[in-house]
Amino acid sequence: MTSPILVTGGTGTLGRQVVELLQKTGQEVRVLSRSPQPPRAGVEFFIGDLSTGVGIDSAVQGVEIIIHCAGGPSGDGLKAQNLVRAASLDGRPHLVFISVVGAGRIPLRSKADRAMFGYFGSKLAAERVIAQSGLPFTTLRATQFYDLLVLVAKQMVKLPAMPSPTGFRFQPVDSGEVAARLVDLALSEPAGRVPDLGGPRIYPVADLLRDYLSAAHRHRVLVPLRMPGSAARAIRAGANLAPDQAIGRRTWEDFLAERVGHSA
């Protein structure tokens, strides 16, 4: 009998899809969450908080593979530290981590940089904790998920006008494709840092916002905004892009038609 696979963040956008794919391959799955979850067939839920370390030890006990999808806008280094500490108490599980393209390429020199783009530093901190953990690991960096862009656009559309950072481009990707890649990596030998996963096309941010508005049948004026600081400069130079790794297949247009067009 194989040991269960632990998915941290298995309640999130990416993690849910990872869990579903693992179940299709017949794997026994554990999910770590900070709050009680409604029962799901074939999934064992553990309550724990990676920021404090509370409840993690029992979730990692006896697992040989951990897919670490839990994350937030900040503090992912600490979350990784607590996970590594608990995982190292009980064997040497393969730790598979999802990071973000741009981690390590976006300088965070000022308070304002850190306030706006600290997420990239937090992912880099987590990458380092995992790489230096002594545990076998695989780290994949992906570009922004389509779901995230829609989430942000839905918030912005509540404003009378939508700010559109000039010179910013994104290469969004389908989170289902990232989930599939993570599952493949988890069921393979540990590989360290693997090639990035980017979406099929690069778009100026204004195009992405206009596409969203059009799919959602909404109208808003876009207000060009020049973002100050070194992090924004790096993003204007493409630090968040992976043009040589435009591997994703599902397009933004297809995603919008299916997810936003229907509900609009």
Ligand X SMILES: NC(=O)c1ccc[n+]([C@@H]2O[C@H](COP(=O)([O-])OP(=O)(O)OC[C@H]3O[C@@H](n4cnc5c(N)ncnc54)[C@H](OP(=O)(O)O)[C@@H]3O)[C@@H](O)[C@H]2O)c1
Interface residue with ligand X, options 3, 28, 34, 193 (CB under 6 A): 34
**Smallest distance, Å, CB 231 to ligand X?**
17
Q: What's the Cα-to-Cα distance from 167 to each of 97, 207, 224, rounded to whole Å?
A: 30, 11, 9
> Distance between CA atoms of 107 and 95, rounded to whole angstroms?
27
Stretch that binds ligand X, among 7-15, 102-110, 128-136, 157-165 (CB under 6 A): 7-15
- Position 147, amino acid: D
| Residue 20 binds to ligand X (criterion: CB under 6 A) | no
The 100-129 contact track toward ligand X, x by CB under 6 A, reads x----------------------x------
> Distance between CA atoms of 215 and 184, rounded to whole angstroms?
33
Helix axes 111-131, 76-89, angle to 10 degrees: 20
| Residue 220 binds to ligand X (criterion: CB under 6 A) | no
The 8-class DSSP code of residue 2 comes to P
Interface residue with ligand X, options 33, 133, 171, 240 (CB under 6 A): 33
**How many residues lie near ligand X (CB under 6 A)?**
26
In terms of CB distance, is 39 or 160 closer to ligand X? Answer: 39
| Residue 144 binds to ligand X (criterion: CB under 6 A) | yes
Query: How many Cβ atoms are within 10 Å of 109's Cβ, its own excluded?
Result: 10
| Residue 47 binds to ligand X (criterion: CB under 6 A) | no
In terms of CB distance, is 45 or 226 closer to ligand X? Answer: 45
Beta carbons of 212 and 259 less than 8 angstroms apart? no
**To which residue do tokens 């029962």 refer?**
39
| Residue 198 binds to ligand X (criterion: CB under 6 A) | no
In terms of CB distance, is 44 or 161 closer to ligand X? Answer: 44
Which residue intervals of 30-137 are DSSP H helices? Answer: 56-60, 76-89, 111-131
Within residues 70-89, the interface with ligand X by CB under 6 A covers 70-72, 79
> Distance between CA atoms of 170 and 164, rounded to whole angstroms?
12
* Two structure tokens written together for 27: 């794997």
Residues within the interface to ligand X (CB under 6 A): 8-9, 11-15, 32-35, 49-51, 69-72, 79, 98, 100, 123, 142, 144-145, 148
